[in-house]
A and B are shown apart, each in its own frame.
Chain A
Amino acid sequence: MKISTFFYILRQGFSNIRRNILFSLASLGTIISCLFLFGIIYAVVVNFQSGMKELENTITISVFFEEDLPEESVQLIGEQIRVLDYVNTMDYISPEEALKNFCEQNYDDPEAAMEAFGDENPLRNSASYSVTLKDVSKQAEFVAYAKDLQGVRSVKSSDVTADGLSTLSSLVGYASVGIVVILMLVSIFLISNTITIGITVRKEEIGIMKLIGATNFFVRAPFIIEGIIIGAVGSAIPLVLLYEMYEKILAYVVGRFKVITSIFAFVSQEELFKTMIPVGLVLGIGVGLFGSLVTTRKHLKV
């Protein structure tokens, strides 16, 4: 394509928007609101999932050994657990540490309680491996695996918490995808409508173009450019707005509800927008491109 043709088509794309300004603004408004909503949902989901991940990592599974199990067998069990790719961390909890944890959790003065027990450690047979998983949904699989290992007495886990978290996490994910898909379909429909009106308004011009030998590409290109411009601007505006707002909202939430930060780590602005900007732009431009392509294919058969 010649450079002058490229610029001509680009100019025509802009002039299509100008001539059809009301409908273009309506499409732009829809894409902006859709992508703004998408951005909010995206930010919530990313933060939620990051929070879930944190919570998942705190769910520990304890693997207890048979009484008087030799040191080598304990190590062997450890190796057999560590080899699993979905295991996140594994710490050995000695009987002394188990007692210390017990005292810390159950007595007002843990040190005094420790001294009271003296050498009589009631948890001397409660050495264990404390395991966290990368994916909490694998918990049942892990428990079954660990129970079958030679020298393992019992495995303690909290199934209710793990299942709940796993279900909630995927539920939020599915609901968000559903909402975004609906929003995108609405945007495609509106862009398609705008382009159809543009084509109707310029019917005479298109008719002349065809009769004097314009190619399909040349007739369609300005409308596709129009769709891409609406999509690109429609995604850039909400992304900039969200970028500016995110830090402020985070600062507000952290300042107002301090307790949240102790159990929930928010994703940083940089981290969030590293993926949100490309995803938002691709969605916006994609919606514009798809909407205009489908419409020009339908209405501009040369």
Chain B
Amino acid sequence: MIELENVTMTYPGGMTALKDVNLNIEKGEFVFIVGSSGSGKTTLFKLLLKELNPTEGKIRVAGYDYSTIKKNMIPKVRRRIGVVFQNFRLLKDRTIYENVAFAQRVIQTPARFIRRRVPAMLTLVGLADKYKSYPRELSGGEQQRVAMARALVNNPDIILADEPTGNLDPKNSIDIMNLLEDINKRGTTVVVVTHNKEIVNEMKKRVITLKKGVIISDEKQGGYIDED
């Protein structure tokens, strides 16, 4: 599902964020990518979304080769990836329903399909009764669940989550991770970039550890490696 082959990313200023990274994530896997700040996690996240292009190496996501993909195909690849951010990135001037429906509107889903699909997603994340609320009326945990509903509504092959529990308390963090695990059990590949030690150690999933742009560990049922 996700394949990186000798990927190196050097920014125009000369800073190398990733060095010769090789990585293979199969369909249906649940993977944590961990590392301290400056380890290259965010760069990897952006490369997977094709927000950045690697200076060297090849990236393949959901069958698309990023080195040869045409510009007009980039939106198509992104539609197969659901994204969740640390700061939720919800549209503040729209209701919860509209936020989730927005993801379907931008890919031009017919209105009748949106009317069926959005309530189903809100039910899945446990917010069916709050569809008329605005993001500011929800707690951090609830906002992140809306973001999850938005990421899931287009039925993606992959969920990419960047520090999804970064702004949440422990209880909400556990809820969100349980939700991600449920989604994974339905067959969606889940990649979580995080530095939440407790959660990584608790869930016993595959853990890829990055340090200064290099993979220093990749364990099937790993734990958080404390660099200190």
Contact = CB atoms under 8 A, between A and B. Distances in A.
Interface of A: 1-2, 4-5, 8, 204-205, 207-216, 218, 302
Interface in B50-107: 51, 72, 74-79, 82-83, 89, 91, 102-103, 105-107
B176 to A, nearest CB: 19
B7 interface: no
Contact of A4 (B75, B78, B111): B111
B74 A302 contact: yes
A207 to B, nearest CB: 8
Contacts of B72: 215-216
Interface string B107-126: 11011000000000000000
Contacts of B161: none
B207 interface: no
20 contacts: A2-B108, A2-B110, A4-B108, A5-B105, A5-B108, A204-B91, A207-B89, A208-B91, A210-B78, A211-B49, A211-B51, A212-B79, A212-B103, A212-B106, A212-B154, A213-B154, A214-B75, A216-B75, A218-B108, A302-B75
B108 A213 contact: no
B83 A212 contact: yes
A214 B107 contact: yes
Most buried by B among A2, A211, A218: A211
Given A204-B89, A211-B83, 8 more contacts: A209-B102, A209-B106, A213-B107, A213-B154, A214-B106, A214-B107, A215-B72, A302-B74
B83 A4 contact: no
Nearest to B108: A5
Contacts of B78: 210-213
A198 to B, nearest CB: 14
B109 to A, nearest CB: 9
Interface in B142-175: 150, 154
Contacts of A218: 106, 108
A209 B74 CA distance: 13
Nearest to A205: B91
Nearest to B99: A208
A211 B91 CA distance: 14
Contacts of B111: 4
Nearest to A7: B111
A216 B89 CA distance: 20
